[in-house]
Amino acid sequence: MGKFILRRLLLLIPILLGLTLLIFVFIHLLPGDPAIAILGDRASPENVERVREALGLNEPLYQQYLDYMGGLVQGDLGRSFITNRDVVDDFLQRFPATIELSLSAIIFAIVLGIPLGLVTAKQRGRWVDQVGTVASLIGISIPIFFLGLMLKWLFAIQWPILPDSGRIDLIEYYIPRVTNFMTIDAILAGEWGGFIDALRHLILPAVALGTIPLAIIMRITRASVIDVLNEDYVRTANAKGLPSGIVDGRHILRNALLPVVTVIGLQTGLLLGGAILTETIFGWGGVGTWIYDAVTTRDYAVIQSGVLMLALIFVLVNLLVDVSYGFLNPRIRYS
């Protein structure tokens, strides 16, 4: 297993190298000029030229790439064209917000998705299953921005039991940012009320973001459980008179979970890439809107390094998923 992990980690180097080139080429294929994006309606030809010169955009492309790679190997991922802030600092400041949101969303999806999948599979063909199937279909097809706005309208405006946006009630709680995980920072500051408030702020965006993964996890679990239900060992376990909880947990779910775990891994990776719509609707300053804004303003430094860091995380999450297979199914051998 150690060897397997080491090999996968070494493989990262060529993957990431290739990725830097791919992102670089892709960015420069995008039409448009960062200088114009920076200057807006004040983009006179002289101003544009001055900004291009200052940003080094007049250098030949290969030179720009070499400069970027030169910085990268020294650990310098560059500075934003727009804010002049260090890209790594900006990423580290926003990524905890994204992790907090995506983990909440995926936990919401898992905690509801797997039991619902199991129940609908066991009740296959009955009304519970039919309602579940329709609900999951709606869950998959509902646009996030619509769901987000509706949730907000319902639970923050019409029936105001939850906050409409943001990460914490800024009037009630002043939490110094240490880790940038609002929940953890609140605990560190000894603000238990702030911790609860941060959790409350997570509910609506997590539900909005977690609905699609929830529906997917539920459907995959259902399909996978149905396969397992027909296995002999399940029938044997039931015939032996084992309590249904043990049959469900040890015999059915454990064997049915492998494809579910794969899906959870992929969904987590996707969510960590940032949820532009959810972040926009709920005023959540995560990496999704950060990179999206960088693309619209052609902030090359942010796009290049931001996407690279996200790619690294995606690959690592997938590695984690691969490793977890071994625990779920000891028959799997890594080679």
Partner 1 sequence: MRNWRWVSVFAVLILVLAACGQQPGASEEESEAPPPTGSEAPAPSEDGGTAGEPQQGGTLVFAGARLAASLDPALTSDGESFRVLQQVYEPLVDLAPGSANELVGVLAESWEGEPSDTTYVFHLREGVKFHDGTDFNAEAVKINFDRWQNFAEEFQADAYYYGAVMDGFGPDNLIESVEATDDLTVTFTLRDPSPTFLFGLALTPFAIVSPAILEQTNADDPASSTFGTEVVQGGTGPFILEDYVPDDSAVLVRNEDYWGDPAYLDRVIIRPIEDPAARLQALQGGSIQGYDLVSPTDYEAVESSDGLSLMERLSFNSLYLGLNPLAEEGSVLTDIAVRQAIALAIDKQALIDAFYGGRGSVADIFLPPSSGWYEGVRAGVDDENTYPYDPDAARALLEEAGYGEDNPATVHFWAPTGVTRPYMPDPQGLQQAVTTMLEDVGFVVEPDSSDWSTEYTSAAQNGNYELHFLGWTGDYDDPSNWYGVHFGYSQGEPAAQFACDADGLEDAINTADQTLEEADRAAAWGEAANIIHGQVCFVTLTHGDTALAFTDAVQGYVPNPTGSETFTSVWLTDGGE
Residues 44-63, interacting with partner 1 (CB under 8 A): 44-45, 47-48, 50-51, 53-55
Binding mask 82-111 for partner 1 (x = CB under 8 A): xxxxx--xx--xx--x-------------x
Q: Round to whole Å and give the CA distance between 234 and 197.
A: 44
Identified binder of partner 1 from the candidate list 224, 248, 269, 317, rule CB under 8 A: 248
Q: Which residues contact 243 (CB under 8 A, 6 or more apart)?
A: none
Q: Which is nearer to partner 1, 44 or 329 (CB)?
A: 44
Q: Round to whole Å and give the CA distance between 154 and 132.
A: 23
| Interface with partner 1 in residues 18-37 (CB under 8 A) | 30-37
The answer to whether 38 contacts partner 1 (rule: CB under 8 A) is yes
Q: Round to whole Å and give the CA distance between 189 and 216.
A: 38
Cβ contact 59:82 at 8 Å = no
Q: Which is nearer to partner 1, 63 or 296 (CB)?
A: 296
DSSP label at 79? B
Question: Closest approach of Cβ 9 to partner 1, in Å?
Answer: 32
Helix (H, G, I), strand (E, B) or coil at 86: strand
Q: Cα dihedral sign for 85, 313, 292, 32?
A: positive
Question: Closest approach of Cβ 65 to partner 1, in Å?
Answer: 20
Identified binder of partner 1 from the candidate list 69, 162, 226, 319, rule CB under 8 A: 162
Q: In this chain, which stretch among 10-18, 62-70, 172-180, 254-262 interacts with partner 1, using CB under 8 A?
A: 172-180
Q: How far is CA 156 from the centre of its chain?
A: 24
Q: Which is nearer to partner 1, 17 or 238 (CB)?
A: 238
The answer to whether 135 contacts partner 1 (rule: CB under 8 A) is no
The answer to whether 196 contacts partner 1 (rule: CB under 8 A) is yes
Q: Which is nearer to partner 1, 44 or 332 (CB)?
A: 44
Q: Round to whole Å and give the CA distance between 116 and 277.
A: 26
Question: Closest approach of Cβ 137 to partner 1, in Å?
Answer: 19
| Interface with partner 1 in residues 298-327 (CB under 8 A) | 298
The answer to whether 66 contacts partner 1 (rule: CB under 8 A) is no
Question: Closest approach of Cβ 106 to partner 1, in Å?
Answer: 14
Q: Which residues contact 185 (CB under 8 A, 6 or more apart)?
A: 175, 176, 177, 178, 179
Q: In this chain, which stretch among 4-12, 18-26, 80-88, 316-324 interacts with partner 1, using CB under 8 A?
A: 80-88
Q: Which amino acid is at 192?
A: W
The answer to whether 228 contacts partner 1 (rule: CB under 8 A) is no
Q: Round to whole Å and give the CA distance between 292 and 50.
A: 25
Q: Which is nearer to partner 1, 33 or 322 (CB)?
A: 33
Q: Round to whole Å and give the CA distance between 304 and 21.
A: 9
Q: Round to whole Å and give the CA distance between 320 and 313.
A: 10
